[in-house]
Amino acid sequence: MTEVLLDRIAASTLRPDESWQVFRAVLDALARPGTVVALPKERLDLTPAALLPMLSLADLGTPITVLDDDEGWAEIVGTATSAPAAPLGQARLVAATRTVTPGELRAMARGSAFAPEESALVSLSVPELEGTGWTLSGPGVSGIARLAGLDGIVSGRAGLDLLLVTPDGRMAGIPRSTTIDKEDV
């Protein structure tokens, strides 16, 4: 490993208090779909925000996949968390620092009614959350929530729990039980 890579691994390894803050934000986001929560800002200078949930949740027993533009984040996250790399269809945690393709969304692990824990939790980098375009309803949503940034994601998300994360660390969760509809404008 190069010195630069070792520096990036050190910069991406969360302290226990940071890991707890990210974990709490993930829980809040998934419990209240469409509500925008904030991730801790301390790591955002050196680590893409979409990787923070994986850095907090991954461990030796959690297969992971990092979809990036070959910037080495998969190796960095794997080393920082000791989580094993896995093919996309077997990963329980997926993080994308780039736009995912429809084929990649379809290939992600899906749970079932009898084994929902087999589904992937997917953290996606999106440019924006606030705005209109899509409405969310279902368990945990008070009335109707509105989000932007779901184009290209909605059609392939069935059975996946999503975390949408902006580069500045704002995050919204969309559990698989949430209904998403195109907003009439």
Give the integer Cα–Cα distance in Å for 129 and 134: 10
* Predicted pLDDT at 148: 79
Model confidence over 7-56: pLDDT tens digits? 888 878 899 999 999 999 999 999 999 899 999 998 888 899 999 999 99
Which domains can be identified in the chain, with CATH numbers? Answer: 3-169 (3.40.50.11310)
User: Is this structure's pTM higher than 0.75?
Assistant: yes
Q: Which residues contact 27 (CB under 8 A, 6 or more apart)?
A: none
Torsion of CA 30, 139, 67, 95, to 10 degrees: 10
φ and ψ at residue 14, rounded to 5 degrees: -80, 140
Summary mean pLDDT of the chain = 89
Give the integer Cα–Cα distance in Å for 138 and 55: 28
Q: Taking 80 as the threshold, does the pLDDT of residue 157 lie above it?
A: no
Give the integer Cα–Cα distance in Å for 42 and 44: 6
Q: Taking 80 as the threshold, does the pLDDT of residue 70 lie above it?
A: no
Q: Residue range 1-7: average pLDDT?
A: 79
Q: Is 126 left (phi over 0), alpha (psi -120 to 50) or beta?
A: beta
Instruction: Please identify which residue in the block is written with the tokens 């998403």.
Output: 180
